[in-house]
A and B are shown apart, each in its own frame.
Chain A
Amino acid sequence: MSDTPHHSAAFVRTTPLPPAPPPATERGAIKWIRENLTSTPANAVMTVLSLVAIYYVLAFVMPWLLNGVWNAGSIRECREIAAGSGGGCFAVLTERWHQLLFGRYPQDAYWRPTLAFVLLFAAIAPVLFQNLPRKLMIFTALYPFVAYWLVWGGTILTPVFALLGFVVGYVVYSRLVDKSFAMGFFGGLLAAIVTWWVTGFASDAGSGLLALEQVESREIGGFMLNMILGTVCVSLSLPLGIVLALGRQSSMPIIKWICVVFIEFIRGVPLITLLFVANVVLAYFLPPGTNFDLILRVIIMITMFAAAYIAEVIRGGLAALPRGQYEAADSLGLDYPQAMRLIILPQALKISIPGIVNVAVGLFKDTTLVSIIAMFDLVGMIRGPILASTDWNGVYWELLGFAAVLFFVVCYGISQYSQWLERQLQTDRR
């Protein structure tokens, strides 16, 4: 390449050439249109067709939105006001927003779930963004207890004692884990159970202390119920999913098969059948005399459902780690729990985050299925009390459109986060 042609004398460029602007046809809007819209005749036809389609959709939707009626007492009033302008009856949203968002939650206590919702962002931020100070995780750990107290009310002693059990359990665990992981784990578990048992009496005694008005589970509904089910089940299913994934990767056949059967069973049936189980079957399998809340039974089943899917995602992450990481941990003398906790899981979970987020989005969408077993989440509220009322019978598009938009905002937001994270992971992959 550097060969100089024989016939020419040596040439040395002394002044660099300035960059020249591209020819006019290669510039600006003309170039963009030529390349992106009309590069071939077929392409031009598709452009025209698309524009026509967009026009029709807008011609249909815009009057509906722009001439929408936001203030009316019933669908008949709406129609009178709209008077054939094609405007939508959005008054149902302004009139029934409390049912759509909170279900039958007591109106004077709306500040409680709202506060819990706002705090959720503070709690979840350090999980989502790794460059925030790690100390914020303390709030994340406290959040479930605060949120429970805010949403369900009752004395603050209940969540405080629940937290105390975890703290005692953790202290015992960290004392014993040096000796062996199993000893630490079971010791911690035992200590926590003892603490809960002992404090159970105390919280009965101090039931008036710092008590918020108690709210029954069946009063919780609307979009709030979707949010609660989504966040609770995703966070509970993570640890369960990790255990299942490790079990499925285990070299011990019986443990492996227990996990495989569980995972494949759950993944093989639709969520709705599991919700039926929660609704009508689960009660049979619990000790006689116990009476679990429907919401708690649903949380158990959805958690199991999500855990099976998360386990598969994490299994992918585990499989993606090079064999050498396991060998290096072994050759340094780390035992299995240490190797998993310190070396394998931190890396495998990091790779799995985008997949876990996808499962979370799917799960959040699936929380609408509880409307089928007569729980009044957002969709349940729309199909039940609102559409059944004489005032609003027939306002389908506005209500379902509103639900669709709410879900879209949340799910699209989460999936954008997941894509951002994937790009981040790609750049610091080495």
Chain B
Amino acid sequence: MAMTDEALARKDAKVSDEVAIDIQNMNKWYGTFHVLRDIDLTVYRGERIVICGPSGSGKSTLIRCINALEEHQKGSISVDGTVLSSDIKNIDTIRSEVGMVFQHFNLFPHLTILENCTLAPIWVRKIPKREAEETAMHFLTKVKIPEQADKYPGQLSGGQQQRVAIARSLCMRPRIMLFDEPTSALDPEMIKEVLDTMIELAEEGMTMLVVTHEMGFARQVANRVIFMDEGQIVEQNEPEEFFMNPKSDRTKLFLSQILGH
């Protein structure tokens, strides 16, 4: 690899030299199946990283390990200086620092949009209900659906639901956001509204790790693109170089498959 993590991050003014996530020599197995192999990754505060790769390459598993939805068996992960260990308080700290947006939104269907957004601040952060609701309305306004606050998730379109899911994460005031294929369950006409929300978030300097196949988004927003295959990081580079001048054959093949038509 031509450039180190730091060198890549450096090229962008918004990126500070503070380390947000540090993953060293991380390995994970499902039974005997080696899902993640020797992952080394340093993410600096303010970085926007897009992770892509064929299905089954371990990219979702990687970001799910960061907030301990999946356990890893070897290596270390630290988030904002907190080392992810088996201490339950550690896990809680990291989860409240890290927001996550899922492919299938995973909104709570029995709660209204507003309740979806205030639930965790009230119960986890112990914020008074009124204050939590104000915060929730602030972020719902930001994702441009304040008028839906009293509806239930089932009454919203997919794109709206995904924007609520983003607002729900933001209500916890996370310092890092993880996106697990946020647009792949959406109808084509709704992808843009979600991507716009994510771009806006990126412009405000949020540290983001995004698993996606939206290469337009990667070009526009990312300051680093990571290509994974068979549980390994195969190539990473700044978007321009990555798309114009891929180094590895596997990357070339992948890019030709998704950009080919």
Asked if A325 and B123 sit within 8 Å, CB to CB, the answer is no
Known contacts being A324-B102, A328-B108, A333-B92, is A430 close to B67, with CB within 8 Å? no
| A178 CA / B124 CA spacing, docked (Å) | 9
Which of A328, A331, A343 has the most chain B CB within a 10 Å cutoff?
A331
Instruction: Flag A336-357 by CB within 8 Å of B: 1 or 0 each.
Output: 0010001100110010000000
Asked if B110 and A324 sit within 8 Å, CB to CB, the answer is no
| A347 CA / B155 CA spacing, docked (Å) | 17
From B102, B126, B154, A328 is in contact (CB under 8 Å) with B102
Asked if B108 and A428 sit within 8 Å, CB to CB, the answer is no
| A328 CA / B99 CA spacing, docked (Å) | 10
| A324 CA / B106 CA spacing, docked (Å) | 5
Secondary structure at the A interface, as helix, strand, loop or mixed, is helix
Instruction: Flag B166-193 by CB within 8 Å of A: 1 or 0 each.
Output: 0011001000000000000000000000
Chain A residues with Cβ below 8 Å from B155 are 430
Q: How large is the interface on A (under 10, 10 to 19, 20 to 34, 35 or more residues)?
A: 20 to 34
| A347 CA / B109 CA spacing, docked (Å) | 8
Asked if A325 and B106 sit within 8 Å, CB to CB, the answer is yes
Asked if B108 and A331 sit within 8 Å, CB to CB, the answer is no
| A343 CA / B106 CA spacing, docked (Å) | 11
Asked if A333 and B96 sit within 8 Å, CB to CB, the answer is yes
| A332 CA / B95 CA spacing, docked (Å) | 6
Instruction: Flag B104-129 by CB within 8 Å of A: 1 or 0 each.
Output: 11111110000000011001101000
| A171 CA / B169 CA spacing, docked (Å) | 32
Is the C-beta of B159 less than 8 angstroms from some C-beta in chain A? Answer: no
From B104, B105, B119, B154, A428 is in contact (CB under 8 Å) with B154
Q: How large is the interface on B (under 10, 10 to 19, 20 to 34, 35 or more residues)?
A: 20 to 34
| A331 CA / B102 CA spacing, docked (Å) | 10
Instruction: Flag A312-331 by CB within 8 Å of B: 1 or 0 each.
Output: 00000000001011011011
Asked if A334 and B106 sit within 8 Å, CB to CB, the answer is no
From A322, A335, A342, A430, B119 is in contact (CB under 8 Å) with A342
Asked if A332 and B120 sit within 8 Å, CB to CB, the answer is yes
Q: Name the CB-closest residue of A to B161.
A: A430
15 contacts between A and B (CB under 8 A): A178-B126, A322-B106, A324-B102, A324-B104, A324-B105, A330-B67, A331-B67, A331-B69, A331-B169, A333-B92, A335-B92, A338-B124, A429-B154, A430-B153, A430-B154
Binding site for B on A (CB under 8 A): 178, 322, 324-325, 327-328, 330-335, 338, 342-343, 346-347, 350, 428-430
Binding site for A on B (CB under 8 A): 67-69, 92, 95-96, 98-100, 102, 104-110, 119-120, 123-124, 126, 153-155, 168-169, 172
Query: Other than the known A333-B92, A346-B110, what 18 A-B pairs have Cβ atoms closer than 8 Å?
Result: A324-B104, A324-B106, A327-B106, A331-B95, A331-B169, A332-B119, A333-B120, A333-B124, A333-B172, A334-B119, A334-B123, A334-B124, A338-B123, A343-B108, A343-B119, A347-B110, A428-B154, A430-B154
